[in-house]
């Protein structure tokens, strides 16, 4: 088996340009060549407007690149239709957001269960698996509470459980500690990375948070749409 077969994400000359009616076009992401291996935890850092979230959106197949190619878990994204991309995201990519993005009208368990239902898992199996996922993140005692009654840390754990429940190969987290205090933020990232490492899942985290850098195997520093620097944990 060669190194290619261990690649979770590969981009070549990846660019995203936004039209700007009042000025020159904006290169949010410019000619990025990126290789992320399976089981790796990569953090993308950089100032506001550096293109981190655009890159994450491209990796999450939420945006079409202007040019270049993306291959995720061995699948070339350019070959997939809109419908196939949705299905691919559902089964292979988990998302964690800064603002948690839980459905306020569903309980914690139902929020997790929803991801299973969308993937075709029906009750009672989906209920059982959702509760197991919450237990794995230590929030099973809050399973039947609405998000509005949970603390920020608990909400983020529920969101992580939702991202992990379909066992995706790739986890993408956008500022996962942005709305948490330092302790809850650290715990959330440790849980996310811990579970992902155990399961061999690849994690890409976009964050400003210096305190969680130690959780990453590799840190990419972005500026003006480009990756300026790569730091590896052991170097």
Contacts with other proteins, residue ranges (CB under 8 A): 53, 56-57, 60, 62-63, 82-83, 86-91, 93, 95, 97-99, 101, 103-106, 110, 113-115, 117-118, 122-123, 126, 162, 174
Q: Count Cα atoms within 13 angstroms, Cβ side, for 56.
A: 28
Nearer to other proteins by Cβ, of 104 and 210: the residue is: 104
Contact 187, 13 (CB under 8 A): no
CA distances from 161 to 15, 40, 110 (A): 32, 19, 11
In angstroms, give the least distance from the CB of 106 to other proteins: 6
Question: If you ran DSSP here, which 8-state letter would residue 232 be given?
Answer: E
Structure tokens at 210: 């210096």
Nearer to other proteins by Cβ, of 84 and 229: the residue is: 84
Residue labelled with tokens 């039947």: 144
Residue 40 sits at the vertex; the CA angle it makes with 56 and 185, to the nearest 5 degrees, is: 65
Nearer to other proteins by Cβ, of 17 and 62: the residue is: 62
In angstroms, give the least distance from the CB of 86 to other proteins: 5
Nearer to other proteins by Cβ, of 105 and 229: the residue is: 105
Nearer to other proteins by Cβ, of 123 and 231: the residue is: 123
Query: The dihedral of CA 158, 161, 166, 169: what is its sign?
Result: positive
In angstroms, give the least distance from the CB of 174 to other proteins: 6
In angstroms, give the least distance from the CB of 191 to other proteins: 19
Burial tier of 167 (Cβ tally within 10 Å: 0-12, 13-18, 19+): middle
Smallest Cα–Cα separation from 52: which of 28, 25, 21?
Answer: 28
Nearer to other proteins by Cβ, of 6 and 167: the residue is: 167
User: What is d(CA 41, CA 192) in angstroms, rounded to the nearest whole number?
Assistant: 10
In angstroms, give the least distance from the CB of 16 to other proteins: 11
In angstroms, give the least distance from the CB of 102 to other proteins: 9
């Amino acid at each position: 088996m060669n190194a290619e077969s261990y690649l979770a994400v590969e981009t070549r000359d990846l660019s995203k340009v936004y039209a700007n009616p009042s000025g020159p076009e904006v290169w949010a992401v410019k000619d990025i060549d990126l290789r992320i291996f399976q089981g790796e935890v990569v953090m993308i850092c950089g100032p506001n407007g550096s293109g981190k979230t655009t890159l994450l959106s491209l990796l999450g197949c939420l945006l079409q690149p202007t040019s270049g190619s993306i291959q995720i878990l061995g699948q070339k994204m350019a070959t997939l239709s809109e419908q196939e991309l949705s299905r691919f995201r559902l089964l292979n990519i988990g998302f964690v957001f800064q603002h948690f993005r839980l459905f306020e009208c569903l309980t914690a368990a139902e929020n997790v269960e929803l991801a299973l239902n969308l993937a075709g898992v029906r009750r009672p199996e989906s209920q059982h698996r959702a509760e197991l996922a919450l237990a794995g993140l230590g929030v099973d005692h809050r399973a039947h509470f609405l998000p509005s009654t949970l603390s920020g840390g608990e909400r983020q754990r529920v969101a992580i459980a939702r991202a992990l429940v379909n066992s995706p190969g790739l986890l993408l987290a956008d500022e996962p500690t942005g709305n948490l205090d330092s302790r809850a933020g650290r715990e959330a990232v440790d849980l996310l990375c811990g579970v992902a490492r155990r399961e061999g899942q690849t994690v890409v985290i976009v964050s400003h948070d210096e305190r969680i850098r130690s959780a990453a195997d590799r840190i990419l520093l972005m500026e003006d749409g480009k990756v300026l620097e790569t730091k590896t944990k052991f170097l």
